């Protein structure tokens, strides 16, 4: 229910257009497919996913000898689902001792998402430690500190300008000492330039691989769902630096561009693990492709 509410704008954006095509066309022709294609592109599903979905739809229509446009709706829905298939999405950090590295550019909702995730894991009875490795902005550590106290978890930070690698190093030691179940590492989203940022992330990645290899299994990229194709290109850039195990797609509550979830899974094959649908600690939901498509069309 909440998922549907959160996705209202995306839903309105895609569904109203699609429905008018299904009712407005009397036969299945090139123009019919072009109109659907346009709606999917406008809905931020991306060129790659859209092309595949239309091709798939055409095959289904032919195989099943469909003649009525209205009968295509179910086929379109199943084509979108198939395009989103990235296999089973694992949430290993819920079951095994884990380090979760969280990366993303400034303003996407990284700190908020780390805070929400900490709250979720804590509510499951887990011992959580946070690493405030964004030492570039003094406010970042303070903001994470507020989330830490709200969630009732411990945070390891450093002075403004401190070496983020050193913070991560200390946080690993603290996580080991406290026998923590999950160590969540928040990182900087902006440094003096992009190259700097990527170098810094690589360094943190190396430290975790070296200091806590048995637990380091997850790198999540946080993307702002309102930025559409921009989010996709950020994900692509981060995946050049680190092996990305999942995406957190934020601000899905206010956006008509939620179709980006399809583009990400289709084009990059990386699972969207969570979506953010608001600013409070409860507004982080596990993402499920099946439910998502259902929420958009039904």
Contact between 250 and ligand GDP (CB under 6 A)? yes
In whole angstroms, give the CA distance from residue 162 to residue 74.
Answer: 55
Per DSSP, the residues of 133-177 read: E--SSHHHHHHHHHHHHHHT-EEE---TT--HHHHHHHHHHHHHH
Given candidates 24, 107, 152, 269, which one binds ligand GDP under the rule CB under 6 A?
A: 107
Q: What minimum distance in Å lies between the beta carbon of 108 and ligand GDP?
A: 4
Beta-bridge partner residues of 131: 156, 185
Per DSSP, the residues of 257-280 read: -TTHHHHHHHHH-PPEEEEE-SSS
Q: What is the dihedral of CA 121, 266, 107, 206, to 10 degrees?
A: 70
Long-range residue pairs from 199-205, CB within 8 A, at least 24 positions apart, any chain: 200/164, 200/165, 201/103, 201/238, 201/241, 201/242, 202/241, 202/242, 203/164, 203/165, 204/101, 204/133, 204/164, 204/165, 204/168, 205/101, 205/241, 205/242
Length of the chain, please? 298
Given candidates 43, 49, 53, 110, which one binds ligand GDP under the rule CB under 6 A?
A: 110
Contact between 120 and ligand GDP (CB under 6 A)? no
Contact between 141 and ligand GDP (CB under 6 A)? no
In whole angstroms, give the CA distance from residue 137 to residue 134.
Answer: 6
Contact between 226 and ligand GDP (CB under 6 A)? no
- From the list 34-42, 69-77, 108-116, 157-165, the region that binds ligand GDP by CB under 6 A is 108-116
Contact between 6 and ligand GDP (CB under 6 A)? no
Given candidates 278, 281, 287, 292, which one binds ligand GDP under the rule CB under 6 A?
A: 278
By CB under 6 A, how many residues form the interface with ligand GDP?
Answer: 18
Contact assessment for residue 239 and residue 265, using Cβ atoms and an 8 Å cutoff: no
Contact between 283 and ligand GDP (CB under 6 A)? yes
Contact between 109 and ligand GDP (CB under 6 A)? yes
Contact between 254 and ligand GDP (CB under 6 A)? yes
Which one, 108 or 168, has the nearer CB to ligand GDP? 108
- From the list 51-59, 100-108, 162-170, 257-265, the region that binds ligand GDP by CB under 6 A is 100-108
Q: What minimum distance in Å lies between the beta carbon of 4 and ligand GDP?
A: 16
Contact between 189 and ligand GDP (CB under 6 A)? yes
Given candidates 13, 50, 79, 112, which one binds ligand GDP under the rule CB under 6 A?
A: 112
Nearest C-alpha neighbor of 112 from the set 255, 278, 273, 234:
278
Contact between 100 and ligand GDP (CB under 6 A)? no
Contact between 104 and ligand GDP (CB under 6 A)? yes
Given candidates 13, 111, 227, 234, which one binds ligand GDP under the rule CB under 6 A?
A: 111
Contact between 279 and ligand GDP (CB under 6 A)? yes
In whole angstroms, give the CA distance from residue 214 to residue 99.
Answer: 9
**Residues contributing to the site for ligand GDP (CB under 6 A):** 104, 106-112, 189, 250-251, 253-254, 276-279, 283
């Amino acid at each position: 229910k909440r998922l549907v509410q959160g996705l209202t704008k995306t839903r309105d954006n895609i569904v109203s257009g699609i429905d008018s095509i299904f009712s407005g066309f009397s036969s299945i022709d090139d123009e019919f497919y072009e109109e659907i294609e346009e709606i999917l592109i406008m809905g931020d599903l991306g060129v790659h996913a859209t092309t595949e979905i239309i091709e798939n739809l055409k095959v289904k229509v032919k195989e099943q000898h469909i003649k009525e446009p209205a009968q295509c709706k179910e086929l379109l829905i199943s084509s979108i689902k198939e395009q989103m298939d990235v296999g089973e999405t694992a949430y290993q950090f819920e079951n095994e001792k884990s380090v979760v590295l969280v990366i993303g550019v400034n303003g996407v909702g990284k700190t908020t998402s780390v805070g929400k995730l900490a709250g979720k894991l804590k509510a499951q009875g887990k011992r959580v430690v946070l690493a405030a490795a964004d030492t570039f902005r003094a406010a970042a550590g303070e903001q994470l500190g507020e989330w830490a106290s709200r969630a009732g978890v411990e945070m390891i930070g450093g002075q403004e300008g401190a070496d983020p690698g050193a913070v991560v190093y200390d946080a690993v030691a603290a996580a080991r000492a406290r026998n923590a179940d999950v160590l969540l590492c928040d990182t900087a989203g902006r440094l003096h330039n992009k190259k700097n940022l990527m170098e810094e992330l690589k360094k943190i990645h190396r430290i975790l691989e070296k200091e806590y290899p048995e637990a380091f299994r997850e790198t999540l990229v946080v993307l702002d769902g309102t930025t559409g194709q921009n989010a996709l290109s950020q994900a692509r850039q981060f995946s050049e630096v680190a092996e990305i195990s999942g995406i957190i797609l934020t601000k899905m509550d206010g956006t008509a561009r939620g179709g980006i979830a399809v583009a990400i899974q289709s084009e990059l094959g990386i699972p969207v693990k969570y979506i953010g649908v608001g600013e409070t600690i409860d507004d982080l939901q596990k993402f499920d492709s099946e439910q998502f498509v259902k929420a958009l069309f039904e």
